[in-house]
Amino acid sequence: GENVEQHPSTLSVQEGDSAVIKCTYSDSASNYFPWYKQELGKRPQLIIDIRSNVGEKKDQRIAVTLNKTAKHFSLHITETQPEDSAVYFCAASSLGGTSYGKLTFGQGTILTVHP
Amino acid sequence: SQTIHQWPATLVQPVGSPLSLECTVEGTSNPNLYWYRQAAGRGLQLLFYSVGIGQISSEVPQNLSASRPQDRQFILSSKKLLLSDSGFYLCAWNLAGFRNEQFFGPGTRLTVL
């Protein structure tokens, strides 16, 4: 089955700095890679996703890059703000087939943005 | 629009007591449904998923079970809770065969004493 490794487990930055979280996956059949943000005590919410037919996707201050050859993808947050503080999860999945929509999640990164 | 509900929001139960958590989805048909558990400060562990009424797949062996009596209802149960069952239980859904973005419910925080 799929295995997703996420690094770092904790990340501390100053407000205005950039933050980068990296994930690697094992199954070459995976072709959908979402990122979720989970604030304390709340549900995870999708912030950005990417499919394997593109190498990069951007949405305002957040971007995701994908390297299919190396089987890794990264989340980039620029101009960080205190409200970006949360736990971030990457995930991998295979669209269609017998995956049944299952996501394999990384272990999460606790991001702290200091004012 | 689609909405996912979970109840109860919080629950404190003694060891050895039974458990029933409920999840319902509104505004969609034939969703895939998932139960996750999240221990404090940890990642998301997939417990069960279902692609249709009465169809349940278990991801990890444990003393929990799941049932899907209706298309948009997913129930997580236990006959006898263990201390290790404490955690934040999340239900999620997505549409089969479309895209795999999963939408999470608000969660149930279970404390077993």
Interface contact A102, partner B, CB < 8 A: yes
Mean pLDDT of B98-105: 82
CB A106 within 8 A of CB A89: yes
Q: Taking Cα atoms as reference points, which of A99, A80, A96 lies closest to residue A88?
A: A80
Burial of B99 (0-12, 13-18, 19+ CB in 10 A): middle
**A46, B95: Cβ pair inside 8 Å?**
no
Residue A21 pLDDT class (50, 70, 90 cuts): very high
**B43, A106: Cβ pair inside 8 Å?**
yes
A89: β partners: A36
Q: Taking Cα atoms as reference points, which of B23, B22, B38, B48 lies closest to residue B103?
A: B23
For the stretch B50-90, pLDDT in tens is 999 999 999 887 889 999 999 999 999 999 999 999 999 99
Mean pLDDT of A93-100: 72
Q: What is the pLDDT of residue B98?
A: 59
AA letter at B59: E
Mean pLDDT of A48-55: 89
Tokens of A52: 């394997």
Task: Give me the half-sphere count of Cα atoms (radius 13 Å) on the Cβ side of residue A103.
Answer: 32
Residue A16 pLDDT class (50, 70, 90 cuts): very high
Q: What is the pLDDT of residue B40?
A: 78
Residues of B at the A interface (Cβ-Cβ below 8 Å)?
Answer: 32, 34, 42-44, 46, 49, 51, 57, 90, 94-97, 99-107, 109
Judged by DSSP in three states, B91 sits in strand
- CA–CA distances in Å: residue A114 to residues A16, B36, B55: 9, 31, 47
Q: How far is B50 from chain A (nearest CA, A)?
A: 8
Mean pLDDT of B16-20: 97
φ, ψ (nearest 5 deg) of residue A84: -80, -10
**Chain B residues inside the 8 Å CB shell of A41:** 109
When CB atoms are compared, the residue of B49, B57, B104 closest to A44 is B104
Task: Give me the half-sphere count of Cα atoms (radius 13 Å) on the Cβ side of residue A56.
Answer: 4
CA distance A89 to B42: 11
CA distance A57 to B98: 20
Burial of A59 (0-12, 13-18, 19+ CB in 10 A): exposed
Q: What is the pLDDT of residue A83?
A: 97
Tokens of A27: 């199954």
Nearest CA in chain A to B56: A100
Tokens of A61: 């201050």
Nearest CA in chain A to B42: A107
Q: What is the pLDDT of residue A87?
A: 96
B74: β partners: B23
**A100, B32: Cβ pair inside 8 Å?**
yes
Residue A109 pLDDT class (50, 70, 90 cuts): very high
Interface contact A27, partner B, CB < 8 A: no
**A101, B104: Cβ pair inside 8 Å?**
no
